[in-house]
Amino acid sequence: MSAPERIPPGSVTPGVAPAALLAEGELTVRGRIREASNAALFCTVALDGQEASCIYKPIAGERPLWDFPDGTLAEREVAAYEVSEVTGWGLVPPTVLRDGPYGEGMVQLWVEETPETELLALVDGEEAGPGWKAIGFAEVGEGRTALLVHADDERLRRLSVLDAVINNADRKGGHLLPTSEGQLYGIDHGVTFNVENKLRTLLWGWAGEPLTPDAVGVLKGLRDALGDGGTLGIRLAGLITAAELAATRARIGALLTSGKHPEPSGEWPAIPWPPV
């Protein structure tokens, strides 16, 4: 297949849930995302005269991961969306698990990003400067180092909380999609929900700082939704293992007990490679 053109997402009539369009619409493959490490297909999905662009990742195209032996990337991507929806922050594009031309897989609404939005930067010196949070030093060639920073942006801060909940092992810069409407989405959540602490992210700027009241309220809502008979717990039970679900509850409890953003554990590389 040829590489896809960046077709703008089709409009969805107000009142029509994007998740329903993704789950029930006719899925047509338009091309392949060649830079993806697993099979990722650019598609359109159409239902009752409505059409939108989306990405389809069939389970048959996943490469086995020794440190994520349970479940599938597709199921974890959908689980991340389910958690995001309960937060009310809308940080993950609508995502469903469904059958497609190459078997069951994850289908996610395509997001057109705004490339000019600067969320990451390299700066000289040892201070991040106003409006930025330090991540760490990076080699930039010829024996030089620079400070890697991310924007001091509330949307990123919320995403860092979501990542701590789902135990995201791969929050790279390329997985951050700001839009022209001011929304920020995170994508590629296939390596999440591990029982072991594998948090690996570029969003360490708030490490050790107190959680915002907004984040605390969201975490309490997640705790309730994952309690006995909670709707989120029921949905996740079909996507991740019982041990992974218990570990998610434990991470939320730990965040509420500490009242702070997590810090690198030292047991796992803190920053993904490559970072972008």
pLDDT, one tens digit per residue, over 78-97 is 999 999 999 999 999 999 99
Of residues 113, 88, 118, the one with CA closest to residue 183: 113
Rounded mean pLDDT, 165-174: 94
The answer, yes or no, to whether residue 16 has pLDDT greater than 70, is: no
pTM for this prediction: 0.91
Q: CA 47 to CA 43: how far, in whole Å?
A: 14
Cα→Cα distances 213→62, 87, 216, 219, 259, Å: 39, 13, 5, 10, 10
Q: Are 57 and 196 in contact (CB under 8 A)?
A: no
Task: Calculate Rg over the CA atoms of the chain.
Answer: 19
Greater pLDDT, 270 or 105: 105
Here the tokens at position 62 are: 């996943």
Q: Percentage of the chain surpassing pLDDT 90?
A: 68
- Provide the pLDDT confidence category of residue 115 given band limits of 50, 70 and 90: confident
Rounded mean pLDDT, 9-18: 53
Q: Are 57 and 41 in contact (CB under 8 A)?
A: yes
The answer, yes or no, to whether residue 118 has pLDDT greater than 80, is: yes
Rounded mean pLDDT, 205-215: 97
Rounded mean pLDDT, 99-104: 96
The answer, yes or no, to whether residue 49 has pLDDT greater than 90, is: no
Lowest mean pLDDT of 41-45, 49-53, 232-236, name the range: 49-53
The answer, yes or no, to whether residue 6 has pLDDT greater than 60, is: no
Greater pLDDT, 258 or 35: 258
Residue 15 is predicted with a pLDDT of: 45
Q: Which residue has tokens 């086995």? A: 64
Residue 254 is predicted with a pLDDT of: 98
